[in-house]
Structure 1
Amino acid sequence: MTQEQIRLAETKTKEIDWQRFGPYLSERQWGTVREDYSANGDAWNYVTHEMARSYAYRWGEEGIGGISDHRQLLCFSVALWNGQDRVLKERLFGLTNNQGNHGEDVKECYYYLDSTPTHSYMKMLYKYPQREFPYVEVRDENMRRTRQHPEFELMDTGIFNDGRYFDVFIEYAKAGPEDILIKITAHNRGSEEASLHVLPQLWFRNTWAWGHDDYKPQLSTSAPGVVQIDERELGRYKLYCDQAPDLLFCDNSTNGAKLYGLDPDGHYFKDGVNDYLIDGDTAALNPAQKGTKVAAHYPLTLGPDEAYTVRLRLSKERQESPFEDFENLFALRQHEADEFYHCIQQEIKDPDARNVQRQAFAGMMWSKQFYYYDVTQWLDGDPAVLTPPVERLKGRNSTWRHLYNADIISMPDKWEYPWYAAWDLAFHCISLAMIDSQFAKSQLRLLTRDWYMHPNGQLPAYEWALGDVNPPVHAWATWRVYQMDQKQNGGEGDTAFLESVFHRLTLNFTWWVNRKDRHDHNIFEGGFLGLDNIGVFDRSAPLPTGGYIEQADGTSWMAMYALNLMRMALELAKTSPVYQDIASKFFEHFLYIAEAMTKVGDEAFNLWDEEDEFFYDVLHTPDDQRVKLKVRSIVGLIPLFAVEVLDEELLESMPDFTRRLKWFLENRPHLAELVSRWQEPGKGERHLLSLLRSHRMKKLLQRMLDEGEFLADYGIRALSRHHLDHPYVYRTLEADFTVKYVPGESESSLFGGNSNWRGPIWFPINYLLIESLQRFYFYYDDSFQVEYPTGSGEMHSLKEVAGALSQRLTRLFLRNAEGKRPAMGDNPLLQHDPHFRDYLWFHEYFHGESGCGLGAIHQTGWTGLIAKLLQPNGKDQ
């Protein structure tokens, strides 16, 4: 075992908690639902970026390259000042939803470069301009642009073009679980001397101002360059600052005088360091050298290409010579990180591919965040502050009073989405399980806990609308993580984990059946389901036509869900035969859904269109008409996901399940006929359960693998390119509703807010398509061939097609023959500059033609699946 694997084992057994401290600090707390106490739910404007430096947050903290303990009582991050900016660079800047022409977006340049699962070593890079940061230019230009224009990014201002910026590397190495070495290395990339103020900051989350507990922890000076930290739960720590810099103390408290015109009353506030440094306000700091926030001040002057390293040590143990063994410990942890990832990557021969995968893992690790949200307390307000407006009591999330979250959770990213999303998290866990299956399992279990899951069985979606409906992929992720963990443990499966999640998901499955199958026809609505800019209507809102939509994707997700739960039950039945009965129940659910979705000759319910040979949503109008909404989108490909293969050996070991299954097929022959080739054993006496017979599957694949429709150079598009020249139009007396293929950001404002997401190429659906093709191949073997690409005349097995699709996706990030990474677009700095070209962003989605990354630049969550695709032959770790 490597040293990192030993640390993971110690953490798992709770022998030593190596994950007590980690990158759990958010990158944006302003503009979140948790901090919004407005009457109308206007989170973006209740606490703004401009207010953030003076406003003490209620529910969490933010910073650049920061860390905290697992309850976020004590926080550390890096602040910077170039002598030009009008505010201290303490937090990342970005646009609100209304300021961005394609929705909210971070407007900074930073990269996650490395992290082990226990965070024994971590590294990130922040690029800080030497000229005044163009806050106003970036905001105003984006507000001037329309949806027909691309976003205006920080790179587009040209502020990095002549090298007048600092590369600020932030690194951490743990000497022990509560002994953390910190390096902040600033490089002047310009050709002239430049000044930089480096301000490592330490502070307590404000837990004392709300009227529940007035205990106030304290930071103070105990020696030159040493901060003493006293907190009743954490105990006593010390922050040792090399070279004994000036220590600037204030309090993490709201500056009511500045924000609301209140009497300052002789207090020190959160913006004290900012006001002292930028405005020269010496009264903003506490001369008594104590408080709840402190910054160590390192004023630097760096010559051309010169670098300087600031060193600190945060330790619970008394350090007589804190920096004596500093460099050796850092080098050791870096070596151990290399050793750990060498084991993970030993089958990857291409150095570029190893770099891409390691940075993808780094993004997954850095995107952990402490997330705190008590809905009851948030709705009712706190005793020591004004009572919230009464409108909130019936507003956002008011039916989720049971929800109490205070955990480390994997985020989609920590700026644009600094809150968990249920189905994003499911995809995260696939990549997480490759390096820390224990954490992946804990994440999947977490969302099914009583204090997350609604009493009615619904999983929470995300804080903007906890009651929104996400695709039910939790069971799929649970089963996959179980398999990966089982393989890593020599074939021994964690059935306790599987069983605990399975029981909770049966409640969630029941919620779907009771709430989303309006007429008990096994046709599901679902609503939004994450596909907000490829449909005719906004499915999360009342339809302008009235009526409702019978969803091809919602129904397909449920068929997949039933098969996932069936397979989990069969696994549990190996040690507890009672699960055979439960497995047969989910088998029957699958059959009834298959019947409803594919009924031949009954157009009243059939979601399959015989003329186009494709699946479509069906609009059920108020006058009881059913109209197929003939948009060729991934909605019609999702039926491919509902596939499972059972081998004869498994069936023979499950006599009760097999007996019930055979009885059902014999006595319900009309259902048996719907199951793809059930009566025909495949390779090795395997049996296939699928929504698709071979004919329909070939027809779907014919469209999916057509470069004029879904198949792009870099994956499968979310919307067929056919709609570029042939837009789909649904006409009503009041308006026409049009869907047209747009390769980049959405040009439609129909869905409101950030409707650019779910763009043409996105990883979750592509990954599931690849997995499904592999499952079909497991049954068919090489005997089943399809034309790839459509029209090429070249026939391939489904395994070969899956591999080819995987290669198209990985080409987004790997250097091509011209030395370019398609995902990084046309910017010459990103493609060729030695200080940019090997650093990666893992975007939210990708342009359907060029492959350029779009949306959130650090959506390492589901795009982190690239780490799995880069593993040769898709092998699990």
Structure 2
Amino acid sequence: MTQEEARLAADRDRTAYWKRWGPYLSERQWGTVREDYSPNGTAWEYFPHDHARSRAYRWGEDGIAGISDTHQQLCFAIALWNGEDSILKERMFGLTGNEGNHGEDVKEYYFYLDNTPTHSYMKYLYKYPQHAFPYTQLVEENRRRTRQDFEFELLDTGIFNEDRYFDVFIEYAKASPEDILIQIKAINRGPDPKTLHLLPTLWFRNTWSWSRAQENEKPWLNVSQKAVNFSVIEASHPTLGTRWLYCDGIPNLLFTNNETNYERLFGVSNSSPYVKDGINDYVIHSRKDAINPSETGTKFSAHYQLVIAPGAMQTVRLRLRDSQSSLNNGNTEILFGQEFESIFRDRQAQADEFYQRICPFSLSEDMRNVQRQAFAGMLWSKQFYHYVVHDWLNGDPVGPTSPVERKRGRNHEWSHLFNDDILSMPDKWEYPWFAAWDLAFHLIPLTMLDPEFAKRQLSVLMREWYMHPNGQLPAYEWAFSDVNPPVHAWAALRIYQIEQKMYGRADRAFLERVFQKLLLNFTWWVNRKDIEGKNVFQGGFLGLDNVGVFDRSASLPNGGYINQADGTSWMGMYCLNMLTIALELAKDDSTYEDIASKFFEHFLYIADAIDGVGEAELALWDETDGFYYDALHLPDGRHFLMKVRSVVGLAPLFAVAALEPNTLERFPSFKRRTEWFIQNRPDLTQNVACLEIAGVKTRRLLAIAGQNQLRRILHRMLDENEFLGPYGIRALSKFHATNPYVLQVHGNEYRVDYEPAESTTSLFGGNSNWRGPVWFPMNYLIIESLQKYHHYLGDDFKVECPSGSGQMMTLWQVANELSQRLIRTFLNDATGRRPIYGGTETFQTNPYWHDLILFYEYFHGDEGAGIGASHQTGWTGLVAKLIQQHAEYGVDQP
């Protein structure tokens, strides 16, 4: 057991609270639904970036490279000033969804370099320009551009020319769960000496302005000690207790309050002159009256002025502890000397040891670097997420009356929702809120690192204060009622399997607990998303944004409804995952055999319906094309397939399960019921792979797509002129580049074109595109599905890959080929360029940028360049699991 695993065990056993402190600050709290108290839900405009430095947040905090406790009562982050900016750099800047020509878009460069599951060691890099940050230029130029234009990025402004910026490395190392060492290293990459104002900042989240709290219930910060070479700040909180921040050197100590500057924002007098932006005004505008001369408040910064020569580095050290005992004698050697350096060395070495345990196989240095930063991004993307919808809808005791429109507006039907947890975010700037189906994919790499955290994530999502009483799971804060793919049974099963394989623990209690809640969610799907009760599902949005002809979560312009190939396939996959879980639980409790039989039967009904065996008008399979499509059903009874070749038609591949040979013999009750069904309902089983024929090692197969359909789908999917791109499977066939799908409705034209990069449509704000790019989550499910098919079909079943090449591969080899293409997106090619960075020369050629990896939301369908949210390690972090599989198995079957 490594030292990090020992810390995880102590935290799991509750003998040491190693996870109390972590990277739980958001990178954007402004512009979120939680902070929106407007009548009509205009979140971006109600709380813009310009307000963030002056206005206290209601539900959380943000900062650069920040940490907090698990309830975000006390926060720490850094602020910076280069002497030219108009405001302190306290948080990341970006465009709102309405400002960006392709939706919301962070305009900063920051990188998650390292992290461990207990956050015993963390490393973060922020690149800070030395000239005035081009806030106005970024907004105006992007506003001028259309959806057909590229985004205008921070590098495009020229502000990093001649390397005129600071690399600011922020590192944390825990000596104990409550003794956190902080080291900030600033390097001047430019050609001239420059002054950097560095302001490590400690503050309390404002919890007192929203209720009638007594003065003695407020937390406070004050100077505890000033010595020759260090200062101590005491932070006292009524429930968290007391902490002390030790600051090396002799910085200027600046205090104010984390309270709204009403005078600046609203022209109303402040109750105190010391407000949230007081330190900003002191540093930028030399306003000495903006900080509290009594050196007390709820927000504090240590102001260091560092003059850094070209190529030189300066270091600032701090230490946050819950005890003064051994460090109160003024000996800076004890505080920040040899012991400090030794702890950092030890934690760095222990992080290396831990990751060697996670992936002990031989990897290239480049591949290991990509995987390590993917894991770091997963762990840095944890965030304290607080949102009590009842209180948000009704307003606070202290504050303006809630607008009446809110009572029937966004999320009003989710008044039971009570979020107060550390959750995995898709992206802490662009998507700083949990998303139900994103989260399922996050759990795969997270389980590799910390199964307990992964299990808690899924368990919390199923709790009664998250799940709707009707069984629906909350989608995401912009619209909790949107419908996301039901991938959570798959996630539960994979968590269970990965933990069992990597750590030797089979947590059936977790599996059973989640299974019971999934039964409620499955019932919601069956009752709410099958309009005609015929086992073909409508679903709605299903997370794929603009993949189809219409906005699938809105009323159709012609009336009617859409039977969805993906919605129906997700439900087929749901059935098989629930069946598999039920059989696993039946090992200890035979009553689960009955439930497994129920899901077997339901799966056959779905598989029958999607192929139109029992009722031809429900068919979503097109025999001529050899592909699945959505079907549009009109009010007058007409219906037809909308022949868009998209990932929607690949989703039926996900509904596959290969049962091991002893499964039927081990569960006689399940075997008896399935055999009865096969014998007595041949109408449902004749065209469906359903356990009848034994495959490799006498395994049995359940799948929507039988061998004939599988071959035909794969022929299109593996065609480089259709789905198969150099860096993975495209979300839309390239066939539509020259053959767009066009539909005329009431004189209006609706069309789907192949768009390999950013979306040119306004559906869902334009910040996501499913009409051509490569998306990791869908590719990952395709790879897993091919592996399952191979378990059953074996080495004798081969297909051309690529189609038309004459090169025959087993399905395992095809899965490996897809995995290699995905991994290759991040790696140096033969010329030393990384596809993810396309034509961005700074990343391709500058040694200070080249090995820094960003994990984008999705990738150019032809070139592999990263697009969309730049820090969506969430599901793109799946590359870490693919790298592990590559290292462990390569092209060989396990």
TM-score under structure 1 length normalisation: 0.99
2:669 — aligned with what? 656
1:547 — aligned with what? 560
> Within the alignment, does 1:281 sit opposite 2:281 as a pair?
no
2:351 — aligned with what? 337
Unaligned runs of 5+ in 2: 329-333
> Distance between the aligned counterparts of 2:126 and 2:463, measured in 1?
37
Which of 512, 521, 524 is 1:511 aligned to?
524
Deviations 1:267-292 (CA, angstroms, capped at 9, x unpaired): 31000000001111111101110000
1:243 — aligned with what? 249
> Distance between the aligned counterparts of 1:757 and 1:201, measured in 2?
41
> Distance between the aligned counterparts of 2:694 and 2:95, measured in 1?
57
2:323 — aligned with what? 317
For residue 223 of structure 1, report the CA deviation from its aligned partner. Answer: 1.2
> Distance between the aligned counterparts of 2:548 and 2:589, measured in 1?
44
> Within the alignment, does 1:411 sit opposite 2:425 as a pair?
yes
Q: Counterpart of 2:719 in structure 1: which amino acid? A: D
After TM superposition, list the pairs within 5 Å mapping 1:126-137 onto structure 2: 126-137=126-137
**3-state DSSP of counterpart to 2:378:** helix
> Within the alignment, does 1:292 sit opposite 2:294 as a pair?
no
Which of 365, 374, 381 is 1:367 aligned to?
381
Deviations 1:788-824 (CA, angstroms, capped at 9, x unpaired): 1000011110000000000000000011100011001
For residue 827 of structure 1, report the CA deviation from its aligned partner. Answer: 1.6
Q: Is the 8 A contact 1:141 1:152 kept in 2?
A: yes
Q: Is the 8 A contact 1:531 1:758 kept in 2?
A: no
For residue 678 of structure 1, report the CA deviation from its aligned partner. Answer: 3.0
> Within the alignment, does 1:779 sit opposite 2:785 as a pair?
no
2:35 — aligned with what? 35
> Distance between the aligned counterparts of 1:356 and 1:271, measured in 2?
38
After TM superposition, list the pairs within 5 Å mapping 1:214-233 onto structure 2: 214=214, 215-224=217-226, 225-233=231-239
Change (3 A) 1:757 1:844: farther
**3-state DSSP of counterpart to 2:697:** coil
> Distance between the aligned counterparts of 2:455 and 2:128, measured in 1?
37
> Distance between the aligned counterparts of 1:532 and 1:859, measured in 2?
16
> Within the alignment, does 1:626 sit opposite 2:632 as a pair?
no
Deviations 1:424-482 (CA, angstroms, capped at 9, x unpaired): 00000001011111111111111000110000000000000011100000000110110
After TM superposition, list the pairs within 5 Å mapping 1:453-852 onto structure 2: 453-490=467-504, 492-600=505-613, 602-676=615-689, 678-752=691-765, 754-756=767-769, 760-852=773-865
> Distance between the aligned counterparts of 2:265 and 2:615, measured in 1?
64
> Distance between the aligned counterparts of 1:634 and 1:443, measured in 2?
27
> Within the alignment, does 1:65 sit opposite 2:79 as a pair?
no
Q: Is the 8 A contact 2:233 2:245 kept in 1?
A: yes
**3-state DSSP of counterpart to 1:447:** helix
Deviations 1:696-746 (CA, angstroms, capped at 9, x unpaired): 110000000000000000000000000000000001232010100011001
2:80 — aligned with what? 80
Q: Counterpart of 2:633 in structure 1: which amino acid? A: H
Q: Is the 8 A contact 1:530 1:758 kept in 2?
A: no
1:259 — aligned with what? 265
> Distance between the aligned counterparts of 2:655 and 2:632, measured in 1?
23
Q: Counterpart of 1:509 in structure 2: which amino acid? A: F
> Within the alignment, does 1:430 sit opposite 2:432 as a pair?
no
Change (3 A) 1:750 1:369: closer
1:395 — aligned with what? 409
> Within the alignment, does 1:109 sit opposite 2:119 as a pair?
no
For residue 674 of structure 1, report the CA deviation from its aligned partner. Answer: 3.0
For residue 599 of structure 1, report the CA deviation from its aligned partner. Answer: 2.1
Deviations 1:600-633 (CA, angstroms, capped at 9, x unpaired): 4843110001121110000011111111110000
Q: Is the 8 A contact 2:799 2:808 kept in 1?
A: yes
Q: Is the 8 A contact 1:249 1:289 kept in 2?
A: yes
For residue 755 of structure 1, report the CA deviation from its aligned partner. Answer: 4.4
Q: Counterpart of 1:378 in structure 2: which amino acid? A: W
> Distance between the aligned counterparts of 1:272 and 1:796, measured in 2?
65
Change (3 A) 1:850 1:532: same
Q: Is the 8 A contact 1:759 1:845 kept in 2?
A: no
For residue 874 of structure 1, report the CA deviation from its aligned partner. Answer: 7.1
Q: Counterpart of 1:487 in structure 2: which amino acid? A: K
For residue 752 of structure 1, report the CA deviation from its aligned partner. Answer: 3.8
**3-state DSSP of counterpart to 2:640:** strand
Deviations 1:659-681 (CA, angstroms, capped at 9, x unpaired): 11111111111112132163210
> Within the alignment, does 1:270 sit opposite 2:276 as a pair?
yes
Deviations 1:74-95 (CA, angstroms, capped at 9, x unpaired): 0000000000000000000000
Q: Is the 8 A contact 1:757 1:855 kept in 2?
A: no
- Number of residue equivalences: 876
**3-state DSSP of counterpart to 1:544:** coil
Change (3 A) 1:641 1:835: same
Q: Counterpart of 1:437 in structure 2: which amino acid? A: P
Q: Counterpart of 1:211 in structure 2: which amino acid? A: S
**3-state DSSP of counterpart to 2:29:** coil
> Distance between the aligned counterparts of 1:428 and 1:818, measured in 2?
32
Q: Counterpart of 1:186 in structure 2: which amino acid? A: A
1:861 — aligned with what? 874
Which of 358, 372, 383 is 2:397 aligned to?
383
TM-score under structure 2 length normalisation: 0.97
Which of 231, 240, 252 is 1:234 aligned to?
240
> Distance between the aligned counterparts of 1:344 and 1:388, measured in 2?
50
For residue 750 of structure 1, report the CA deviation from its aligned partner. Answer: 4.0
Deviations 1:189-213 (CA, angstroms, capped at 9, x unpaired): 0010111100000000000001153
> Distance between the aligned counterparts of 1:566 and 1:601, measured in 2?
23
> Distance between the aligned counterparts of 2:155 and 2:772, measured in 1?
22
Q: Counterpart of 2:283 in structure 1: which amino acid? A: L
**3-state DSSP of counterpart to 2:618:** coil
For residue 309 of structure 1, report the CA deviation from its aligned partner. Answer: 0.5
Q: Counterpart of 1:310 in structure 2: which amino acid? A: V
| Percentage of matched positions with identical amino acids | 60
> Distance between the aligned counterparts of 1:774 and 1:448, measured in 2?
29
Change (3 A) 1:815 1:807: same
Q: Counterpart of 1:659 in structure 2: which amino acid? A: R
Q: Structure 1 stretch 266-275 or stretch 850-859: which is displaced more?
A: 266-275
For residue 531 of structure 1, report the CA deviation from its aligned partner. Answer: 1.3
For residue 783 of structure 1, report the CA deviation from its aligned partner. Answer: 1.1
**3-state DSSP of counterpart to 1:322:** helix
For residue 222 of structure 1, report the CA deviation from its aligned partner. Answer: 0.9
Q: Is the 8 A contact 2:767 2:868 kept in 1?
A: no
2:340 — aligned with what? 326
Deviations 1:239-260 (CA, angstroms, capped at 9, x unpaired): 0000031110000000011111
> Distance between the aligned counterparts of 2:15 and 2:772, measured in 1?
45
> Distance between the aligned counterparts of 1:818 and 1:776, measured in 2?
37
Q: Is the 8 A contact 1:749 1:755 kept in 2?
A: no
Deviations 1:276-319 (CA, angstroms, capped at 9, x unpaired): 01111111101110000000000111111111001000000212
Deviations 1:579-598 (CA, angstroms, capped at 9, x unpaired): 00000001111000011101
2:310 — aligned with what? 304
> Distance between the aligned counterparts of 1:535 and 1:723, measured in 2?
13
For residue 563 of structure 1, report the CA deviation from its aligned partner. Answer: 0.3
> Distance between the aligned counterparts of 2:416 and 2:155, measured in 1?
44
2:331 — aligned with what? none
> Distance between the aligned counterparts of 2:2 and 2:670, measured in 1?
43
**3-state DSSP of counterpart to 1:604:** helix
Deviations 1:643-699 (CA, angstroms, capped at 9, x unpaired): 001123111110111111111111111112132163210111111000011111100
